Amino acid sequence: MFFIDLKVNNKKLDKYQKKVVKSKAKNLLVVAGAGSGKTFTIVAKIKKLIIEGTLPEEILCISFTRDSAKSLEEKLKEENIFIKVKTFHSLGYEIIKKHKNVNLISDNLLENIIEKKLNKEKHLKEIANAKFIRLGYPDPIFNKIENNIILNSKSKERLKEITKTFINLYKSNNHKTKDFKEFEKLNDKKHIYDQKKRHNYFIKLIKSIIIEYEKELKKHHQIDYHDMINKSIEIVKKIDIEKYKYIIIDEYQDTSLNKNNLIKEIQKKSGAKLLAVGDDWQSIYSFTGSNLEIFTNFNKVFPNAKIIKLKKTYRNSKELLKITRKFICKNKKQIYKRLTSKKSNKNPIYIYYYKNNIKEIWNEIVKKTENQNSLILGRNNKDLYKIPYIPPEMQFLTIHKSKGLESENTIIINLEDNYDSLPSKINDSEYLMYVKPKSNDYKYAEERRLFYVALTRCKNNNYLLVKKESPSIFIDEMKKIGKNNIIVSK
């Protein structure tokens, strides 16, 4: 009788959502496809726990970003449930502040250290893999000139970005300076001659930057965003955490190794049950350190785990589901799920070709979507400048920022066969091999998931704007997969 009465926002749960809410599993993974009502299910689960006597302060609820945490918090308030939804970082900082007197890092500390180290680096030419044509023997004066050329070129900015990304991944995977011995061994094993020498110089440079950076943080009693997680893990290992009975995590597919380690330690100390909700098909944040294998290997990470799939979507049409499933499932190393929908739309995707730029077809797109809420989605922030004008009912976002949102229609741009289009052909730096989570080696795996996210934002239609002479490889694939349900402009 309980489930006859349990509603969220006056809506009843479907049979898969009920399974989640009823489950007593110690460790439960909910695989929630796009539009399947994952937030709705989380709210229903918390509502049931509180009805049964669990106190709000006994529920640790975590979401990936401040915006998603705030959104979940508001939805709970609508049900008269008042729980502070935390991000991993706010949780970690809260734990640390209770036991240590620390402050958050000043914005430019790392930037200044990197700048200083690069300016003094003697082997910058080798690290940047810069090619100079020179006759005669090596000369100190020429070396200095070459270094100055690099320091005043785009190569320096590229090196700075690589260095910051390396440190980001290094700390999100909770590496220590002792791990540099393993990096050196891997270099010896993988590389020879000039490449080995180049990597060796980079490893020494990045190690010196990290050592100085950590020294400055300690000196000024400061922590950075990764320390909020890593240092809170150290504290949790030493203290009692008994108040939590349930840990509920949203967007679990974006979890990094150190964030997951924090949850494991809290669960170990509190004995809490864990409910993790997410969708591996929408994992698009590996550059921040998220590790998809934590999600796909949940039953290895958390023993005796149960997995429930939400199989109904309330956003997309069944025709769009069929197309996007075939597209995303080319990568067999993901969790297979077959979403269903009561909605029907024979032609959920329209492909519009232009010769030179979007201006040629833009008025037609605006007319097609007139008086309908629409998202314009691009691969990069700079894609905004490709749009002639944006009517009031439209909004531009990058695909990354659109995750979790929905609209009547989506208009997807920058679908060219270009290095910074979709899929992006910008390769990760070779130096990130030491700290980047293992990939499943499927070509364009994350870019494929990114396109899937873009396609599944819409309730009605997707409009794909494509350059006729150089279409993205994804466009040709989509036309083959959905040949009976895609309308192509002439």
Q: What pLDDT score does 140 carry?
A: 64
What phi and psi, each to the nearest 5 degrees, are found at residue 239? -120, 170
Cβ(343)–Cβ(312) under 8 Å? Answer: no
Query: Taking Cα atoms as reference points, which of 280, 281, 239, 288 lies closest to residue 88?
Result: 288
What phi and psi, each to the nearest 5 degrees, are found at residue 153? -125, 175
Q: What pLDDT score does 149 carry?
A: 64
Helix (H, G, I), strand (E, B) or coil at 277: strand
**Percent helix, percent strand, percent coil in the chain, to nearest 5:** 50, 15, 35
pTM recorded for the entire structure = 0.88
- Token pair recorded at residue 444: 């364009």
Q: What pLDDT score does 2 carry?
A: 46
Helix (H, G, I), strand (E, B) or coil at 222: strand
Q: What pLDDT score does 141 carry?
A: 59
What phi and psi, each to the nearest 5 degrees, are found at residue 59? -115, 120
Cβ(41)–Cβ(11) under 8 Å? Answer: no
User: CA 489 to CA 486: how far, in whole Å?
Assistant: 10
Q: Report which DSSP code applies to 114.
A: H
Measured CA to CA in angstroms, residue 90 lies from 61, 102, 125, 347, 411 at distances of: 12, 14, 41, 44, 35
Residue 64's identity, in one-letter code, is F
Helices 318-328 and 473-481, packing angle to 10 deg: 130
Helix (H, G, I), strand (E, B) or coil at 397: strand
Q: Spell out, as residue ranges, where the chain has pLDDT lower than 70.
A: 1-7, 9-10, 107, 130-153, 439-441, 490
Q: Report which DSSP code applies to 390.
A: -
User: CA 177 to CA 159: how far, in whole Å?
Assistant: 21
Dmax (CA) of the chain: 89
Residue-wise burial string across 152-169, b where 16 or more C-beta atoms lie within 10 A, e elsewhere: eeebbeebeebbebbbbb
68-103 pLDDT per residue, tens: 899 999 999 999 999 999 999 999 999 999 998 888
Q: List, in sequence order, the alpha helices (H) in 220-256.
A: 225-238
Q: ω before 423 within 30° of 0 (cis)?
A: yes
- DSSP assignment string, 466-480: EETTSB-HHHHHHHH
User: CA 27 to CA 22: how far, in whole Å?
Assistant: 13
Tokens 């997969």 map to which residue?
481
Q: ω before 138 within 30° of 0 (cis)?
A: no
Residue 319's identity, in one-letter code, is E
Query: Taking Cα atoms as reference points, which of 462, 466, 488 lies closest to residue 323?
Result: 462
Cβ(426)–Cβ(419) under 8 Å? Answer: yes
Q: What pLDDT score does 385 carry?
A: 95
Q: How many CB atoms lie within 10 A of CB 429?
A: 15
Q: What pLDDT score does 133 carry?
A: 45
Cβ(424)–Cβ(379) under 8 Å? Answer: yes
Q: What pLDDT score does 302 carry?
A: 92
Q: How far apart, in Å, do the first and last CA atoms of the chain sit? A: 57
Measured CA to CA in angstroms, residue 154 lies from 118, 159, 161 at distances of: 13, 9, 11
Q: Which residues pair with 28 in a beta bridge?
A: 275, 306
Q: What size, in residues, is the chain?
A: 490
User: CA 435 to CA 256: how far, in whole Å?
Assistant: 12
232-285 pLDDT per residue, tens: 999 999 988 778 999 999 999 999 999 999 999 999 999 999 999 999 999 998
